[in-house]
Amino acid sequence: MSLLLIGGCSLPGLGASSEEPVRIGAQSFTESEILANVISQLLEHNTDLDTRIVKNLGSNFVSQKALENNEIDLAATRYTGTDLTSILNQKVEKDPEKALRIVQKAFHEQYGYKFYDSYGFANTYAFTMTKENADKNHYQKISDLQADADKLKLGVDNAWLKRAGDGYPAFKKTYGFAFGKTYPMQIGLVYDAVNQGRMDIVLAYSTDGRIKAYDLKMLKDDRRFFPPYDCAPLIKENTIKKYPEIDRELKKLQGVISTEKMQELNYEVDGELKEPSTVAREFLEAHDYFE
């Protein structure tokens, strides 16, 4: 596995003094790169630590293996629903608070890792449509679609149509209806499709910046069908013992990034083509680096 390393950037007057940099893992998508840069810059601004970002960790599994193989010290983005089933081999838990506590306890006991409380957002599947369509038909939650579902065109990631557990077959059982027509498409294409009226509704990712950019509406999952995917950093407890100031700084990020804010930050990279490091710096500067 080839990992790309990029150094953190110390600010003037705050030169790093640690002999070994703290290695921060970022998965290969925008959200993870932004938050890796947020952690890197926060640590370098508020402590004497040096940092290094390990990019292009292609999946949750790769991120986990990088921790286990001592290639990173902490992962910038891990998600409760994914870790619960794919790493910890636990049953699906639909209650967000229960899922978080199970994940935190299991990582501590099985790996000696600390899974923090959420940044404040979850990145999960969300049924999404234009606000005009939602307002016209009084759609606020997924169950509101039932009366009209057989007339609606759904654009959706092909994998979801067949996936067990939280895919389309289980959805139909939970909500008791099916959509009139389903159109498999790449997840990145669903936003343009619904915005341009080619689809009535699409299954999107809740923190994608295009939801905010296109002023789309996410319907409430009122039957808690989708597992919670609350996002938080994951760190080795040995690293905290060595550098307790990291724990202090990571706690400052708990509960401070809403879903809407993460949408905005993601769009600044994907839509406005800013560098993740720039978006991270501007976010931290707006909050005085949480000092």
pLDDT score for 166: 82
Distance CA 215, CA 117 (A): 29
Region 55-65 average pLDDT = 93
Catalogue all structural domains in the chain, each as residue range(s) with its CATH number.
4-122+229-290 (3.40.190.10), 125-218 (3.40.190.120)
Distance CA 172, CA 68 (A): 38
H/E element holding 130?
strand 125-130
Distance CA 104, CA 108 (A): 6
Distance CA 128, CA 284 (A): 30
Distance CA 275, CA 189 (A): 22
Q: What is the pLDDT of residues 223-267, one digit of tens each?
A: 999 989 999 999 999 999 999 999 999 999 999 999 999 999 999
Residue 201's Cβ-count burial label (10 Å; 0-12, 13-18, 19+) is: buried
pLDDT score for 199: 98
Q: What is the pLDDT of residues 41-51, one digit of tens each?
A: 999 999 999 99
Largest CA distance in the chain: 63
Specify whether the CB–CB gap between 2 and 57 falls below 8 A: no
